């Protein structure tokens, strides 16, 4: 069965960086986009961007450009989200989610499987 | 302010029918991009409930249905059950924004 398993909770001080991982199993890792979505406490869902696990190509939300890096390791079926220059506003649960297959338009498709979420807390 | 607009809350008694609206614009739903719906139970990840406007993934009860017309979409839940109490999000793609994948603000469903 398809599973996305994320790394554990993190606590960082303002100005630091954090790297969250998302390991996929149960399907061909390089066939589907992976997206990163975050949810601040008591708030809604916000998309940070997506990665093409086959090529490594990324698309980052303008709001996060310069602060977000998305990478993948195909030998581990794992994608990573790194967020730099953290502030308290970055305190949130970060989810990875599987998007559509790469040969379809990225505008199509839903997020059919999600990781369990990783809580990142930024506090001095 | 979310790109897709949902009511903050709806409520209904067990057995009743409720609907949740999702209003977009010419850059997303109005362009013909599909809308998808997710259910988020407290402390859990969102779960895909409806995809491509009106399709249910395997395992989702047929009490859940959805439709889309123009720049609006709606999710309907019939035969309301206590376990349906959750936050529901609509999601689509937007041609004018970055990121292109956009969510509604979420609607909290309370089963009375």
Full DSSP string of B1-70: --SBB--SEEEE-TT--EEEEEE--TTTGGGT---EEEEE-TTS--EEEEBTTTBPPTT--TTEEEEEET
Q: What is the pLDDT of residue A109?
A: 86
Examine the pLDDT at B98 and tell me if it is beyond 80: no
Mean pLDDT of chain A: 96
Q: Which of A60-64, B51-55, B87-91 has the lowest mean pLDDT?
A: A60-64
Minimal CA separation from A41 to chain B, in Å: 11
Best of B6, B101, B107, B108 to substitute, by most chain A Cβ atoms within 10 angstroms, is: B101
The whole-number pLDDT of residue B32 equals 86
Give the DSSP H or E segment for A73. Answer: strand A68-73
Q: What is the pLDDT of residue A12?
A: 97
How confident is the prediction for chain B on average, in pLDDT? 95
Which residues in chain B have Cβ-Cβ distances shorter than 8 Å to A46? Answer: 103
Span B48-72, pLDDT tens digits: 999 999 999 999 999 999 999 999 9
**Inter-chain contact A114–B34, Cβ cutoff 8 Å?**
no
Task: Give the whole-number percent of chain B exceeding pLDDT 90.
Answer: 89
**Which of B48, B52, B102 shows the shortest C-beta gap to A111?**
B48
- How many interchain CB pairs under 8 A, A with B? 66
Which of A4, A98, A110 would you mutate first to test chain B, the one with the most B CBs within 10 A?
A110
Cβ contact, residue pair A114, B45, below 8 Å:
yes
Determine which of A43-47, A90-94, B28-32 has the lowest per-residue pLDDT on average: B28-32
Average of per-residue pLDDT across B20-47: 94
């Amino acid at each position: 069965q398809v599973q996305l398993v994320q790394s554990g909770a993190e606590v960082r001080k303002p100005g630091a960086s954090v790297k969250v991982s998302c390991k996929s199993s149960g399907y061909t890792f390089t066939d589907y986009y992976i997206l990163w979505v975050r949810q601040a406490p008591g708030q809604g869902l916000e998309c940070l961007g997506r990665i093409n696990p086959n090529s490594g190509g990324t698309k980052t939300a303008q709001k996060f450009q310069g602060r977000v890096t998305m990478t993948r390791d195909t030998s581990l079926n794992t994608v990573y989200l790194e967020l730099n220059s953290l502030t308290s506003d970055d305190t949130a649960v970060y989810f990875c989610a599987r998007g559509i297959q790469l040969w379809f338009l990225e505008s199509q498709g839903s997020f059919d499987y999600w990781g369990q979420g990783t809580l990142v807390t930024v506090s001095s | 302010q979310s790109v897709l607009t949902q009511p903050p809350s709806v409520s209904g008694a067990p057995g009743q029918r409720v609907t949740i609206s999702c209003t977009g614009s010419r850059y997303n739903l109005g362009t013909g991009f599909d809308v998808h719906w997710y259910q988020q139970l407290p402390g859990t990840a969102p779960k895909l409930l409806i995809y491509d406007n009106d399709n249910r993934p395997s395992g989702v009860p047929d009490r859940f249905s959805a439709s889309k017309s123009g720049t609006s979409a709606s999710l309907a839940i019939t035969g309301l059950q206590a376990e349906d109490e959750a936050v529901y999000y609509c999601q689509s793609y937007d041609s004018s924004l970055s990121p292109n994948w956009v969510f509604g603000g979420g609607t909290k469903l309370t089963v009375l």
